[in-house]
């Protein structure tokens, strides 16, 4: 099982630098709590160091193009510091803002593009995708169980409850369709089912 390593520590420092001042949607929690939890989930399933590092870094390119950092600069830094396997996994689970022709994608088109890219993604990226959704779905479920006003939770997300559930169903179904049957899928399926009835 993967434990502490200098590379994992380096990945956390890199993520902390780039997610600095970001918070989780609708909360005051530092954003870094999310990639940290994704890393814990991947470690719980005994994933290797490359997968855990990709889990820690999975949102850097999507969320941290700002303050002098371009997408290309972030890609170059991740490849140089953590290797091409980590970069490939991060890119596979990064929602793109532009298509291959440079045309801006709508939110729905960006989601469809993400799901389509899961077809050709490697297992490492699919593990990161599943762990990301397990943490996000679990967090939403925990917040729903703590509130008397479910709309205060669903209202954090574009598309509200139906848009969010459609997204989670889409990811679950695509991972199943591409034959990703890793043990984490049982947890993801269960969480999506629980969200459906929450």
| Domain boundary assignment for the chain | 6-197
Q: What is the pLDDT of residue 101?
A: 87
Q: What is the pLDDT of residue 70?
A: 87
Q: Which residues contact 170 (CB under 8 A, 6 or more apart)?
A: 111, 115
Q: What is the pLDDT of residue 27?
A: 72
Question: Two tokens at 21?
Answer: 């001042």
**What's the whole-model pTM score?**
0.94
Taking alpha carbons only, the member of 135, 151, 153 closest to residue 143 is 153
Question: Two tokens at 177?
Answer: 């369709």
Chain segment 129-146, per-residue pLDDT in tens: 999 999 999 999 999 999
Tell me if 141 sits within 8 A of 194, measured CB to CB: yes
Chain segment 145-187, per-residue pLDDT in tens: 999 999 999 999 988 999 999 999 999 999 999 999 999 999 9
The confidence band for 64, taking pLDDT boundaries of 50, 70 and 90, is confident
Element (H, E) at 109: helix 107-118
Average pLDDT over the chain reads 93
Q: What is the pLDDT of residue 163?
A: 94
The superfamily (CATH) of domain 6-197 is Hypothetical protein af1432 (1.10.3210.10)
Per-residue DSSP letter, 104: B
Tell me the mean pLDDT in the region 95-113: 90
């Amino acid at each position: 099982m993967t434990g502490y390593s200098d590379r994992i520590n380096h990945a956390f420092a890199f993520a902390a630098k780039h997610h600095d001042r970001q918070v989780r949607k609708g909360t005051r929690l530092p954003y870094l709590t999310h990639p940290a939890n994704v890393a814990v989930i991947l470690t719980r399933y005994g994933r290797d160091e490359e997968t855990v590092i990709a889990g820690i870094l999975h949102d850097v390119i999507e969320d941290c193009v700002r303050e002098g950092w371009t997408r290309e600069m972030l890609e170059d830094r991740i490849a140089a510091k953590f290797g091409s396997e980590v970069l490939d996994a991060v890119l596979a689970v990064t929602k793109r803002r532009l298509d291959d022709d440079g045309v801006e994608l709508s939110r729905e088109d960006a989601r469809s593009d993400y799901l389509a890219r899961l077809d050709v993604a490697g297992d490492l990226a699919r593990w990161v995708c599943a762990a990301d959704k397990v943490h996000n779905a679990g967090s939403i479920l925990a917040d729903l169980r703590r509130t008397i006003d479910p709309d205060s939770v669903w209202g954090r997300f574009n598309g509200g409850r139906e848009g969010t559930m459609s997204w989670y169903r889409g990811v679950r179904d695509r991972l199943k369709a591409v034959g990703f049957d890793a043990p984490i899928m049982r947890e993801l399926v269960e969480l999506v089912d629980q969200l459906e009835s929450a």
